[in-house]
Structure 1
Amino acid sequence: MRVPSPHRRQDLPTRKPSGGAPRSAAPPKKSPAAALAREPDRPLRARAGKEEQRIAKLLARAGIASRREIERMIAEGRIAVNGTAIDTPATLLTSLHGVTVDGKPVQAAAPARLFRFHKPAGFLTTERDPRGRPTIYDKLPPGLPRLVPVGRLDMNTEGLLLLTTDGGLKRQLELPATGVPRTYRARAYGEISQAQLEELILGIEIDGIRYGQIDANMERRTGRNVWIEMTLTEGKNREVRRVLEHLGLQVSRLIRTAYGPFPLADLPAGAVDEVRQHDLIMFRKSLEQGRPRPPKAERPA
């Protein structure tokens, strides 16, 4: 006869609670329709289980228009979901299925495309200018898909400007957190030493604005004219010009020569070409895998 171990858990009879109020049953599950009825301001949501995104973002990625333009179209009642016009750009969807613009169904977003453009000086990086000044869209050749610029080059800066069909890729390339390097060549007038330029690897603060690491090297000097190459990862507004002017230099020409692994190379001014899809896919994979942060800079000797 087997004797149960004193350490073995025994099945004990259940004991009814004595006294007190009886335990209440679990509340019934609330239907999604009832939840929406109680929250009239809650954005329209698609079925759970898939990633939801704002409709303005989805439409921008599909190449319909910019997010700002899409918000205007929504306010005008031109965008509908399953036949019902929406009134907020905060509408959340998992896809563009059932979405129409001006009564026409919207196709799913095509794969992202990336183009190189050699921006000449004298053109604004914007779609329209209230003052009527020329923009990059006046210079781009016809027949291209709807493109948005990655970052900006000011009117007098020339060189490589990346253009893309995909707002998500644009943001990936622009965010300082992704660490995508931008390289420039600047022609400047004034006195500067290589030692002074090497100090920029520590970053610099100008008028209360902190600029991160800049790898700067003097390429050549002719009298008081110098050519300087600078690589940075933040790309703040007019960063290169402001840093060099802070060092006492007058910038007479500024050219962006590379953005990440994409060089300007010998692309003629005003010309545009498309980055190979294979190269774009490999680059995006490298972004998803993350980049190791550079070691903490030490003060140069």
Structure 2
Amino acid sequence: MAQDKENRERLQKVLAQAGVASRRHAEQLILEGRVSVNGVKIPALGHKVGTEDYIEVDGKPVQRSEKLHYYLLNKPVSVITSVNDPQGRPTVIDLMKEVPVRVYPVGRLDYDTSGALLLTNDGELAHRLMHPSYGVEKTYRVWVQGPVGISALDNLRQGVLLEDGNTAPAIVERVVCGVLKKSTEKSKSDRLEILEVTIHEGRNRQVRRMFAAVGYPVLKLERVRFGSLSQGNTLRPGAYRALTKEEIQELRTKAGL
């Protein structure tokens, strides 16, 4: 019996790990009387549950995973970062069919953006990694028609005014400046420049909007790093791998867990 007690965890933590909500939001759900265990509503914090307990939120069963899973996916373009899509387009979950448990994407990469995407069933870690207060950095490789002027680079580095407010300062580095297309004149409009930009915010289509705001619409966008995770050259588009114990611990440390 003592062993059973040792294996029991606080209800709000279990809800967070199941991806129902962040731990703070889970606490609010409990206080609002929306959570029940084995058919009994739990009106206060402090309740602990074991693997044998049946949990419901708003009358719907909570699917619990006995083991937490973490995967890094190299998301291809033309794939939706979603669990399902009403329009029937392929989703990142379609690429993860052989994973033994249901995992969820951490943050988003838009339809035309490729690169590093974390998927997990660790709801609490996912919530923290997406929250700007933890400052998780994301690095993108950006293809634009260049060359990009010094003033535009300075604006990106200092913060760009968008319709939803100023962005935080970004780290921007030039990577390659070459020929975009065959041309006899090799005018400025025929130059392709590749830059790497690192941000810690997660606004919708933020990198694309930042570059458009300084006069350089993005031609191609790839996320090459998420926090401490880098896909490197090991993952082809659509492929994924499990995270190592060291990578998981580094992410959890960054998220204050």
| TM-score class normalised by the smaller sequence | 0.7 to 0.9
Higher relative contact order (CA 8 A, sep 6+): 2
Output the CA distance in 2 between the equivalents of 1:209 and 1:217: 23
Output the CA distance in 2 between the equivalents of 1:203 and 1:273: 34
Q: Which amino acid aligns with 2:53?
A: V
SS in 1 for 2:74: strand
Match of 1:297 in 2: none
Output the CA distance in 2 between the equivalents of 1:285 and 1:143: 25
Aligned ranges for residues 231-250 of structure 1 at < 5 Å?
Answer: 231-250=198-217
Output the CA distance in 2 between the equivalents of 1:268 and 1:175: 29
Match of 1:99 in 2: 53
Aligned ranges for residues 112-261 of structure 1 at < 5 Å?
Answer: 112-222=68-178, 223-261=190-228
SS in 2 for 1:244: helix
- Higher share in strand: 2
SS in 2 for 1:288: coil
- Give identity over the alignment, percent: 30
Relative distance call for 1:145 and 1:108 in structure 2 (3 A) is: closer
Residues 150-208 of structure 1, C-alpha deviation per residue, up to 9 Å, x if partnerless? 11001110000011120111012111111111000011124522452133222121224
**Deviation of 1:264 (Å):** 1.4
Residues 203-244 of structure 1, C-alpha deviation per residue, up to 9 Å, x if partnerless? 121224221111112212224321111000112110100001
Match of 2:4 in 1: none
Relative distance call for 1:106 and 1:147 in structure 2 (3 A) is: closer
Output the CA distance in 2 between the equivalents of 1:127 and 1:208: 27
Match of 1:30 in 2: none
Q: Which has the larger radius of gyration?
A: 1
Task: Report if the CA contact (8 A) 2:80-2:111 is conserved.
Answer: yes
Output the CA distance in 2 between the equivalents of 1:171 and 1:269: 26
Match of 2:239 in 1: 271
Relative distance call for 1:130 and 1:92 in structure 2 (3 A) is: farther
Task: Report if the CA contact (8 A) 2:65-2:101 is conserved.
Answer: no
Output the CA distance in 2 between the equivalents of 1:208 and 1:106: 35
List gaps (5 residues or longer) in structure 2. 1-7, 27-34, 179-189
Task: Report if the CA contact (8 A) 1:99-1:106 is conserved.
Answer: no
CA RMSD of aligned residues (A): 3.3
**Pairs aligned (count):** 223
Relative distance call for 1:108 and 1:232 in structure 2 (3 A) is: same
Relative distance call for 1:224 and 1:129 in structure 2 (3 A) is: same
Task: Report if the CA contact (8 A) 1:153-1:161 is conserved.
Answer: yes
Return the TM-score normalized by structure 1. 0.64
Q: Which amino acid aligns with 1:280?
A: I
Return the TM-score normalized by structure 2. 0.74
Aligned ranges for residues 10-159 of structure 1 at < 5 Å?
Answer: 53-54=11-12, 58-59=14-15, 61-62=17-18, 66=20, 81-82=37-38, 84=39, 86=41, 92=45, 94-97=47-50, 99-100=53-54, 110=66, 112-159=68-115
Relative distance call for 1:212 and 1:92 in structure 2 (3 A) is: same
Task: Report if the CA contact (8 A) 1:123-1:134 is conserved.
Answer: yes
List gaps (5 residues or longer) in structure 1. 1-49, 71-78, 290-301
Output the CA distance in 2 between the equivalents of 1:178 and 1:216: 21
Output the CA distance in 2 between the equivalents of 1:157 and 1:123: 9
SS in 1 for 2:232: coil
**Deviation of 1:108 (Å):** 7.3
**Deviation of 1:85 (Å):** 5.2
Task: Report if the CA contact (8 A) 1:115-1:274 is conserved.
Answer: yes
Match of 2:32 in 1: none
Task: Report if the CA contact (8 A) 1:61-1:167 is conserved.
Answer: yes
Do residues 288 (structure 1) and 256 (structure 2) align?
yes
Q: Which amino acid aligns with 1:268?
A: R
Q: Which amino acid aligns with 1:288?
A: G
Output the CA distance in 2 between the equivalents of 1:168 and 1:107: 15
